A and B are shown apart, each in its own frame.
Chain A
Amino acid sequence: MKLADENKKYLLTGNEACAEAAIQAGCRFYYGYPITPQNEILTHMAIRMPQVGGTSIQVESELAAINMVHGSAAAGARAMTSSSSPGISLKQEGISYLAGSELPCVIVNVQRGGPGLGDISPSQADYFQAVKGGGHGDYHTIVLAPSSVQETADLVFDAFDLADRYRNPVMILGDAQLGQMMESVVFNKKCKPNSFKKDWALTGANGKKRNIIKSFYPVRGELEEFNAKLQAKYSLIKSKEVRYEEINTENADIVIVAYGTCARICKEVLMENKTPNIKVGLLRPITLWPYPSQIIQEISEKVRAILTVEMSAGQMVEDVRLSVSGKCPVHFYGRTGGGIPSPKEIIRKITEIISVKEEKTSVT
């Protein structure tokens, strides 16, 4: 594949689209280690990076990969690493250092089943790890959750811009389903990698004040001050960068909250009018951090119930409950270990929730 033509449509896996979008977004430094189900990212980078004068290294470990990203980001370049769940766990120390050093970079997690070695099937069980920090210390990565191959590509572009704008790591949280499936994709997002001034980067102190990239603040009081600065940045991100998709939430009886692959499945429930007597809406968070709490709270005041659907034992549902704050019942349906909720299962759950409610209403 040659340099992507913005007018052309390509048939690619989510992983390939992710890698190509990174190149189109000006990423020239990629460091990765093989792990299923994200290997296509490595192989695509190995072919494409030399064609565009970039660097793609298959490294000795996930630790080396994330720390090479640290180096390239500190040097002012757009850098990326990718992995799947167990590998992302290994990178967590490095992600904490990147956040603590305020370095921009993109990390891709093509989630698989866990815990431990788990399996290579789709999963959303790394939600906590992705949105609550993951590594040590008070920090956040911006987390973007695509639900199609096209959106994977588009969000990779946005991820690099967000990273540079806020000097913060950004994670693309996909899963084995999104990474492996093929769909048509166009690379027509406009991106200006050089529009962010990086006067903090390490380039050698030639004729300018020298720069230090660090996260160590041993003098009493300095670290608290630095944390306050980080928290102020996170507040700004929360106020400006929340993204979500809202379908049929007006006058809905029940609204499903789901992201990524699960949101796609839930769309099927909505589209084919499979619940003619119950009006079902969908709220799909696109940013998992910052979380779309405000809109979920507003919805909770208008609906009979909210249903959260995940490929986990119930992780995002905690953020839904925090957002709803008791205003309406919050139900959960999840599958784990590579199980994928089917539209039929979701409809059964919806019917169950509403009929239980109706029974209660008729009794009182």
Chain B
Amino acid sequence: MVGISSYGGYVPRYRLNRMMVFGSMGWLNPVIITNARGEKAVANFDEDSITMSVAAGMDCLKGVDRDSIEAVYFATTTAPFKERQSANLVAGALGARDEIRSADFTGSLKSGTSALLSALEFAAANNGAKAVVCAGDCRLGKMASTQEMVFGDAGAALLVGGDDDVIAEYKGSFSVSHDFVDHLRGANTKYDRMWEERWIRDVGYASFIPQAIQGLCDKYALNAADFDKVVYPCYYGGARKKINGMFGEGDKVQDDMQATVGDSGAAHPLLMLSAALETAQPGQKLLLVSYGSGCDAMWFEVTDAISKAQDGRGVSRWLARRADLDNYQKYLVWRGMAPPELGIRGETDKETRWSLIWRDHKAILGLVGEKCKACGAQQFPPGRVCANPECGVMDEMEPVYLADKGGKIFTYTADMLAASLSPPAVYGTVSFNGGGRTVMDFADCAVDDIAVGDPLDFSFRLKFYDPKRDIPNYFWKAIPAVEEVK
């Protein structure tokens, strides 16, 4: 058997109250009040689809031997590159080997489930070989648009494999595909454009999702009411009501997180599935349906192994780790919708030297340092000479993946002079658990939140963006250790 063997989620720390959007932009388009309930998750200025996917992947892979991973798939509609495979950045950050299959899935909101189907088929064709599916999206609507109200930023990840590890056995799928253009972004377009919402609701969601579910039921001789947990994205209340009628009695339908996160695009079905797995019980039948340019419908049966995976991983702890985004203008600046003056330090030309990057790519993507074979000292960044002054041997180093090791604050500061989209720039010296130190940027905290000795986790982030050459560069930052929700 093949199926899902772990799950992870990620919601960025900052949440924008939708009434704040209405308060700022309602003068232009008063009708957005109809969506002005709850809050939406907003990626920090240094987060994007790749970094949120990595965060979810790290959550999903806690305790998993990275060398056992055979494939890494990445799904998004907001990839930062047209040519450069994002999945390889994700794989590097997750500490996967080089000898793996990698692929990007994009172009539709169902690309997350397309990646999941490919991973399941990969596992089935390769004796249960492990594949990681990471999805993240960070879609933009124009100021005062419905999309701006509805969309949220998040990431989700699923580990697929075989046999004893499986927590939700894959039972089958059914897909429908349509060139149904309800939402569209051209190759050079930043903001989403959509057609009339009543048409999207009635002809889109309320027709295609039931069509896919019915197709699945017919194919596997099931009744829609047989499912114990149902996951599908749809933020139209009317359409949800109609679709929910298919599943009979009981509280089966997974919350769509519209009030807490917003629609996270390609990641959203996987994010909801991840949340569903946090409370799933052995034997339950689970239905997953995506929506966008058609639908993928898939079903799973939860195994006894689920209880071992319900250990605090998943989206709940990230939902609990929240802070208000205190003004709408900050949202605009963080998302690149309004140009801020950063002073002369913001103009520094930081050219990306690709041959240097390639030489250091393990250190940059995976926070891969070294352990000295002679004295055991850890060090970062890698070098040929041991940093321990009592040792100092040359060429006796072996690589060590530090991204999942965590650390502690040795020193810190908060710098108003450094050019930052979230001043002051907080950074400091981190002592890695297991030894070694480095000075790095901190994220998701203010100076009053931290003290010398505090535990830290590492988070893959956008390090800087080179606007002249359109290159985002990534590296790890330290964040206050995230408490697990038991």
- Does A associate with B in a complex? no
